[in-house]
Structure 1
Amino acid sequence: MSESKMTRRDLAALAAGGALAVGMVGAAATPAAAYQGNMERAMSALYQALASLRESTPNKGGHREKAMELVQQAIAETQAGIVFADEHGGDGPQ
């Protein structure tokens, strides 16, 4: 299985897409939703981590692939947390 190398432009597009997705999640929530800077910064960091993992060489005994799966799961959970906080005014269980 061959891996394609991502350029800096690809990484920028991926990071921008992540920021856009976060913005869309916030826009779809209630109008009174509070800005969630920490969660949005976490999303950005997770997208950057995923891009770095995708760029790395695949000879890691399956650990790189597992790490990518876990980062994608973390992205989904972070997005769900943003939506939950927006829908519940940020006053939910941690």
Structure 2
Amino acid sequence: MFVIGTLGALVFTGIGVGTGVAIADQPHMENALHDLQTAQSQLQVAEPDKGGHRDNAINLVNQAINEVNLGIQFANGQ
């Protein structure tokens, strides 16, 4: 029983490591995601009165974050 449980844990861990490697092979997508998340944070703390442009920018950045995540998932076959 112990051997089977350990083997299962190793297989599961291997799948996670394999996924991590695939993501690591996408440095430009990961960098873009990080930069978009930074932009999102900065927009959130910016003064709100910008004629609606700040809110539009937040929405567009959120859409871009979603698209980058979808692209990473697609590249990883998920």
- TM, length-normalised to structure 2: 0.69
Structure 2 residue 22 is matched with structure 1 residue 33: yes
1:69 equivalent in alignment to 2:50: no
Q: Where does structure 1 differ by over 3 angstroms across 4 or more consecutive aligned residues? A: 29-32
Unaligned runs of 5+ in 2: 1-15
Report deviation, 1:86.
1.0
Q: What is the percentage of aligned positions where both structures have the same residue? A: 43
**Contact 1:30–1:87, Cα closer than 8 Å, also in 2:** no
Aligned-partner residue type, residue 72 of structure 2 = I
Q: Which runs of 5+ in 1 are unaligned?
A: 1-26, 89-94
Q: Report the residue type matching 2:59 in the other structure.
A: E
1:33 is displaced (CA, Å) by 2.6
Q: Which has the larger radius of gyration?
A: 2
1:57 alignment counterpart: 47
Supply the RMSD in Å over aligned alpha carbons: 2.3
Match of 1:47 among 33, 37, 44: 37
